[in-house]
Structures are given as C-alpha cells and as structure tokens.
C-alpha cells in the first residue's frame, strides 16, 4: 500500500493517469456488455418489442444504480483521502459502513419492487406485449439488483485503495459469463426475455462471490471482519453527503427516462421506444471509457488533495479533461459515419433501422460536452465539495425537463430526442464556470509563499 501511495503522490501524472485508467477503461467497457448484450440478444432473438420492454424498465434499474453509485462514490472519496493522509483505520471503517448502508437501503427496495412490480410497470403506459415482456424480465432481474449493488460498491472500494487492476477482473468474468449464458438461455433453451434476465442475475452473483474472495485472500487492508462493520453515524452522513450528487444524477436519469418513454409513446410509437433504447446503449458504451478515466482521475485527485499536493490536483484535472474530450470527439465522428450499421447490430427490423438513424445521431450529439460534465462533477466529489457537484447535477434535469415538453410541440418526435444534447451542453457550461472558479482558488493557495504543495 505504501508503494502504491508513493506512486500516486509522486509519479508523472500523465503516465499515472494512463496506467490507472487503462485497466479501468477495459473493465468499464466490459461491464457495459451486461446491458448491451441483453439488448442485442433480445433484439435478435425475440424482436424489437422486446428491446422496447428492456428500455421500459431502465428507470427502475437506474433507481437501484443511483443508490449503489451514491454509496460507492461517497465511500471511495473518503477512503482515498483517508489513505492519502495516512488514516488507514478510517478508510477501513468507511468500507464497513458503506456495506451496512447498502443493506439497509437495497433489501427493502427489492422487497417493495416485488410487491408493486406490475403496478409500477402499468404506470409506464406500454402495450400488452411490451408490458408482458417487461414483467417477465424484471421478475428475475430484481434478485440480481442486490448482488449488483454490493459488487459495484466493492469495485469502488478496491479502486479507492489504488488497486485498479483488481477491480476489473470480476467485471470481465461476469460479462463473459453473461454473454455465454445469454446465448444458451435465449437461443438454445428458447427462454426469451426471461433467459436474458437469468443470465444477468447469475453473472452478477458470480461477480459478488469473486469480490468476497478478493477481500478475504488478496493483499488489501480491507477485510470482512466484524470489527470493521461498526456503525458510525458520521461516516454514514459523509458517504451520503459526498455521494448524493451521483445519487441525484442517476435518479434524475431514471426520471428522465420515465418522461422520455412517456413522450415517445405520445408523439411516436413503440418502435421509437426501441430506438431510444438502442440510443441509450450506444451512449452507455461510448461513455464507459470516460467513466474508466473518471474513476482513476477521482482516486488520484482524492489522494493528492488529501496530501495537499494541489499542483498535482490541478494538473490531473486538465489531463483528464483533455483525454475525455478527445476520446468522445472520435467516438461521435464514428457514430456519424455508421449509424445504420450500429442499429443493425441490435435488430434486423427494417422499420427500426429506418426510423432510428436521425434520432441516434441527435441523441449522441455533443458527447464531448457530456464527458466534460462528468469530469467536472467528479472533481468536486473527489475533493469533498459536494455542494458544487450537486448544483452541476441538478442543473442537468432542470434544463432537460422544460426542453422535453416544449420542443416536441414544434418538432414532434424529433424534439423529444433533441432536448437531450441541448441540456447536456447547458450543464457542461455551468460545470466549466465552477471549475474555472475552483482552479483560481487552487492557484491562490499554490502561490502562497508558505505553500508546500
């Protein structure tokens, strides 16, 4: 641990960010295959209405992801800053309290979901076929939410310790098994959407088992011992405070998808709902490398901020922004060139492909600004300034909601898709204002004669 800490606080930042990000980027891209592969297999093996069904339950999935993200990001920030300042015991207790908080929230959520599942799906307003597919898929997938949340939090804890490579192995194994089981359950056993859900749930359970084995036997300060699971209200409060902007971001995404699905069914049809689902998956896979860079960037930032190495904090921020914008600019250029080919990966349905080309190009527009927005929010969480991160996240949904309801009046179904990139651009500008001010604060501290950063 000491050698890892020394590298984070002293190595060349460009090389360090690349070294930390590469395995994380690979892991994040592989992790995105869970949802992506499910969508591809149900699209090819069942049909476009099955894609619409998977899209319909996306808001429910994001609610669970919002809780896991809040706990994972909040605890990771505390752990990295604690390790950076030499407070190892605080880091260990933070891990224990992260798991306690997860159990207190996720278990009741899963129970409530089973009780009210059909009522919730009924509110989304889909047709009978799509509703049936969605109910079948969710009935099995709900069990996996519990294991997914624990695995996600664990991966954040492992990254926060600086063990980037160790965090990706469960993701790779889980994704590989998910692909294999998807094929078996859908095409060989003809289980339809139930097969896709079962494959995902089983692979998430195996991921969880691998994480447990890591904490038990690997070289880490985190151990599953009872003394590490002592309830500490101040740590719970800090985890929630720091992670709340991420919670709000994911929860906002859930609300956004509910509105999006409703407006698509109002101004379009279920084919456009399937198109939106494909677009969401394309955006997801495009942003996964960004999240990989982002997680590594956050770990390096928290360590150095905790150790008061503020010059390095500023430098790694600028490096991360440059990398993310360049990467997403290249990805969007590719999307513009082959949108029809990307759609055909998910479905052979000609109606879906013809209807989807323009909406996909619009949904993915301004991807570089989305990456800048992500880095800006993460930076403030990494240094423990949750208020700025919260404002940045809140601005996104505040921009998007009125656009969702105004633009379709004049532009129809295309207006629904156009609202997305405009809101991203507006929030990215706000993020830039906050980052500019924070850099000025860092510069003033760095320039003080007594500063030892």
CA dist list (Å): 132 to 122, 126, 138, 301: 10, 10, 10, 46
Q: Among 15-24, 206-215, 351-360, 362-371, which stretch is predicted with the lowest mean pLDDT?
A: 15-24
- 402-449 per-position pLDDT tens digit: 999 999 999 999 999 999 899 999 999 999 999 999 999 888 888 776
Residue 237 lies in a domain: yes
451: pLDDT strictly greater than 60: no
CA 5 to chain CA centroid, Å, is 26
Asked whether the predicted pLDDT for residue 28 surpasses 80, the reply is no
Q: How many domains does the chain have?
A: 1
Is position 109 within any domain?
yes
Report the alpha-carbon distance of residue 316 to residue 294 in Å, rounded.
Answer: 11
Higher pLDDT, 146 or 124: 146
Segment 236-277, tens digit of pLDDT: 898 888 888 778 777 877 788 788 888 888 898 888 888 888
> For the segment 160-194, what is each residue's pLDDT rounded down to a tens digit?
777 777 777 887 888 888 889 989 999 999 898 89
For residue 40 the two structure tokens come to 């591809």
Per-residue pLDDT, 231:
85
Answer whether residue 60 is part of any domain. Answer: yes
pLDDT of residue 3: 65
How far is Cα 254 from Cα 248, in angstroms, rounded to an integer?
Answer: 10
Q: Check whether 4 has a pLDDT greater than 70.
A: no
The answer to whether residue 332 sits within a structural domain is yes
Domain-located, residue 301 = yes
Considering the chain, what is the average pLDDT of its residues?
A: 85
- pLDDT of 287 > 60? The answer is yes
Going by pLDDT thresholds of 50, 70 and 90, the confidence category of residue 452 is very low
Backbone angles phi, psi at 364, to 5 degrees: -90, -5
Q: Does the structure show a pLDDT above 70 at 370?
A: yes
453 located within any domain:
no
For 14, the domain range is 2-446
- Cα–Cα distance, 51 to 41 (Å, whole number): 9
Per-residue b or e along 260-274, where b marks 16 or more CB atoms closer than 10 Å to that residue's CB: bbbbbbebbbbbbbb
The pLDDT > 90 percentage for the chain reads 20
Q: Does 451 reside within a domain?
A: no
Q: 131: how many CB neighbours lie within 10 A of its CB?
A: 17
Greater confidence (202 vs 69) lies with 202
Residue 88 domain-assigned?
Answer: yes
Q: Say if pTM beats, i.e. exceeds, 0.75.
A: no
């Amino acid at each position: 641990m000491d050698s890892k800490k020394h590298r984070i606080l002293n190595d060349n930042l460009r090389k360090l960010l690349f070294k930390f990000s590469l395995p994380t980027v690979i892991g994040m891209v592989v992790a995105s295959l869970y949802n992506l592969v499910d969508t591809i297999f149900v699209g090819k093996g069942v049909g476009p209405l099955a894609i619409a069904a998977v899209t319909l339950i996306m808001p429910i999935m994001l609610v669970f992801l919002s809780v896991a993200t809040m706990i994972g990001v909040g605890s990771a920030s505390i752990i990295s800053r604690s390790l950076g300042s030499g407070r190892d015991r605080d880091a260990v207790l933070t891990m224990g309290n992260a798991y306690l908080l997860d159990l207190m929230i996720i278990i009741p959520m899963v129970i409530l979901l089973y009780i009210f599942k059909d009522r919730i799906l009924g509110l989304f307003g889909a047709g009978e076929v799509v509703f049936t597919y969605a109910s079948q898929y969710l009935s099995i997938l709900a069990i996996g939410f519990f294991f997914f949340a624990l695995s996600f939090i664990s991966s954040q804890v492992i990254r926060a310790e600086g063990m980037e490579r160790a965090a990706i192995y469960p993701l790779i194994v889980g994704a590989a098994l998910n692909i294999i089981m998807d094929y078996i359950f859908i095409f060989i056993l003809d289980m339809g959407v139930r097969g896709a859900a079962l494959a995902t749930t089983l692979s998430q359970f195996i991921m969880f088992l691998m994480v447990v084995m890591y904490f038990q036997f690997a070289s880490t300060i985190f151990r599953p011992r009872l003394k590490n699971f002592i309830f500490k209200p101040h740590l719970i409060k800090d985890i929630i405070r720091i992670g709340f902007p991420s919670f709000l971001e994911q929860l906002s995404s859930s609300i956004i998808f509910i509105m999006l699905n409703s407006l698509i069914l109002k101004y379009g049809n279920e084919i456009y709902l399937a198109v939106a689902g494909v677009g969401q998956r394309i955006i997801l896979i495009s942003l996964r490398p960004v999240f990989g860079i982002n997680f590594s960037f956050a770990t390096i930032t928290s360590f150095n901020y905790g150790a008061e190495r503020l010059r390095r904090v500023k430098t790694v921020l600028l490096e991360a922004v440059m990398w993310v914008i360049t990467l997403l600019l290249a990805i969007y250029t590719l999307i513009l060139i082959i949108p029809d080919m990307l759609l055909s990966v998910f479905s052979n349905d000609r109606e879906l492909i013809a209807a989807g080309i323009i909406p996909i190009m619009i949904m993915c527009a301004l991807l570089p600004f989305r990456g800048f927005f992500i880095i800006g929010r993460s930076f403030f969480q990494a240094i423990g300034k949750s208020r700025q991160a919260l404002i940045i996240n809140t601005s996104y949904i505040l921009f998007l909601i009125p656009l969702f309801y105004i633009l379709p009046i004049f532009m129809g179904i295309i207006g629904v898709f156009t609202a997305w990139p405009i809101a991203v651009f507006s929030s990215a500008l706000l993020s830039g204002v906050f980052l500019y001010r924070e850099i000025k604060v860092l510069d003033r501290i760095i320039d003080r004669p007594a500063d030892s950063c």
